[in-house]
Amino acid sequence: MIEVRNLVKSYHSKKGIVVGVDHVSLKIAKGEIFGIIGYSGAGKSSLLRCLNLLEKPTSGEVYIDQVELTSLNKSELRKARLKIGMIFQHFYLVSSKTVFENVAFALKAARKSKTEITDRVLWLLEIVGLADKKDAFPSQLSGGQKQRVAIARALANEPNVLLCDEATSALDPTTTKAILKLLKKINEDLGLTIVLITHEMEVVKEICDKVAVMQSGRVIEEGTVYEVFANPKEDLTKEFINTILHFGLPDRLIANKKGKIVKIVFKGEVAEESIVSDMLQTFKIRGNILHGKIEYIKEVPLGIFIMEVIGESIEIERALSFIKQRVEVLEVFDDAA
């Protein structure tokens, strides 16, 4: 559906050339919700804007539905962009126009008939839950309602792709959840491919199928959201995940440990089994749970536990071997996670 090949985007500044996107390659499947996460300056927004050529890449290729966008002339690009909707953090609604008129704007630009415009706008406002606000002005709306109008406007010309640039960053947590739920519903009901830029791992966890982590213009880690949460490889990825699955331990617990402190990751159905209980009953050891949590990512359980295992060295080794045979990740460490 979307393929980015060796994409580079450079900018000229007073200090010389700054590389915003540095040789990035990605594949995003049709109907997928793909998250791109990184801190400010990582290059994620520049990458997103290259997907519809709001930013023209310095080099590299962008394919959407097997069409290479950088090879199109202006007329062809305008036509291709009709199938790529985009929403932003700050909504960008026209304050002097009603909700109906804001959504209708793109349809008028596409020269749709008055009947087509009316039918389409009313249908879209029904989808985003704003049918009763069609005659309201942006100043009369909450932040969440404004973003719903922006989503309806982005869907006006029946796009195949929806690009979301920090679409929930200006919203409170409750409204963010509602907007993410709406995006997920649109994805499922309309079969839309969604590319979502964020600096919040909670957003990725909530609705994304896959995620790419960006740092200094590069993609440093990529995979399904579940696998990235279960087994992050890069320090930055671990830092993002730690904002949700925080497992730091007080120094006094480390200083006063009597046995071995281990971190165990249970993936899938194993997270709902009694493996730790079985271990404690099978071997002559004691276990002290220091931290633990089960998260559900795409309804699949992911359990992470930190515990102290106390007993004779040989029994501890036998117990840890028992665990290792049943889980994919077991880490023995002496410092706080």
CA pseudo-torsion sign 168, 194, 32, 9: negative
Taking only the tens place, the pLDDT of each residue in 116-128 is 999 999 999 999 9
Mean pLDDT of 11-30: 92
What does the chain come to in residues? Answer: 337
Name beta bridge partners: 35: 196, 211
pLDDT for 96 beyond 60: yes
Find the helix packing angle between 143-154 and 114-127, rounded to 10°: 130
- Write the Ramachandran bin of 158: left for phi over 0, alpha for psi from -120 to 50, otherwise beta: left
- CA R_g for the chain: 24
Domains along the sequence of the chain with CATH:
1-83+159-175+186-244 (3.40.50.300), 93-158 (no CATH), 251-333 (3.30.70.260)
Name beta bridge partners: 287: 309
Least confident among 40-44, 53-57, 66-70, 252-256: 252-256
Other CB atoms within 10 A of residue 40 CB: 8
C-alpha dist (Å) from residue 311 to 285, 286, 316: 5, 6, 6
pTM check: above 0.85? yes
Mean pLDDT of 81-89: 91
- The CA-CA-CA angle for residues 319, 320, 325, to 5°, reads 100
- Which is nearest to 26 in space by CA: 3, 48, 42, 49? 3
**266 phi, psi to nearest 5 deg:** -105, 120
Instruction: Kindly state the percentage of the chain with pLDDT values over 90.
Output: 67
Dig out the tokens for 33 from the structure.
Answer: 């919700």
